[in-house]
Amino acid sequence: MSRKLNSRSVKPMLEHLEDRYQPSVLMGGNVVPTLVNQVNTVLTDMQHAQVKLTTDYNAAVTALGTNPNGDNVRAFAHPFGQAVADYQQILNDQATINSMVSTDTTVLQEVALAEFSAGDPIDLVILTFFKGSSFDPTTQLKNVQNQANQFLQDTTLQNEINHIFDLRNPLSIGFDPTRDQITIAAEVNTPSF
């Protein structure tokens, strides 16, 4: 026996939801504050290195005294080496900040472009037409970068790293400035990453 059911089936239609723009990736949430916080951490490390540099520089000046001889040059070597390491840390931190800000800015621009391609132009509009203003989220990153770059122009820092230490009395016979004088700045390398 076969029976045919006479039943009607109805497929429900999904309702059409209106287009909703999501909040800006750059303006909402904690994307930019997180990036800025990481760069600020490196800037803080840079400031600590400057404090250590000043301490080690003063210790080197005290150890060497006004009449360099074998004993005080040996005592001078340790704080001078620490001061060189402190200045190298400052240069490394500055290079790191410049690299981080460049990378973070590129990432934010690429995210804005991806959002634009997906139909949300808000982030791209912000980065394109408000560049450099307080409304531009990358301005916070650039401000930290500017602080780091100005940091190296500090007069006290420049005086410390360019101070000429005489390892022998300049009035002694055979004094050679290329061999018997040293500066902190001459002993470091500028990082290139």
Strand partners, 63: none
Q: What is the pLDDT of residue 165?
A: 93
Kindly list the distances between the CA atom of residue 52 and the CA atoms of 62, 108, 129, in Å, as whole numbers in the listed order. 15, 35, 43
Torsion of CA 103, 108, 112, 118, to 10 degrees: 80
Rounded to whole angstroms, how far apart are CA atoms 98 and 182?
A: 29
Task: Evaluate if residue 13 carries a pLDDT over 80.
Answer: no
Give the residue carrying structure tokens 């301005």: 139
Task: Evaluate if residue 21 carries a pLDDT over 60.
Answer: no
Task: Evaluate if residue 79 carries a pLDDT over 90.
Answer: yes
Percent of the chain with pLDDT over 90: 48
Task: Evaluate if residue 179 carries a pLDDT over 90.
Answer: no
Q: Could you tell me the pTM of the whole model?
A: 0.81
Q: What is the pLDDT of residue 41?
A: 96
Amino acid in position 109 = Q
Question: Once rounded to an integer, what is the mean pLDDT over residues 121-127?
Answer: 84
**Residue 7 vs residue 182, higher pLDDT:** 182
Helix boundaries (H) for 14-69? 31-64
Q: How confident is the model at residue 105 (pLDDT cuts 50, 70, 90)?
A: very high
Rounded to whole angstroms, how far apart are CA atoms 53 and 173?
A: 33
Q: What is the pLDDT of residue 70?
A: 79
Strand partners, 181: 166
Q: Is 89 helix (H, G, I), strand (E, B) or coil?
A: helix
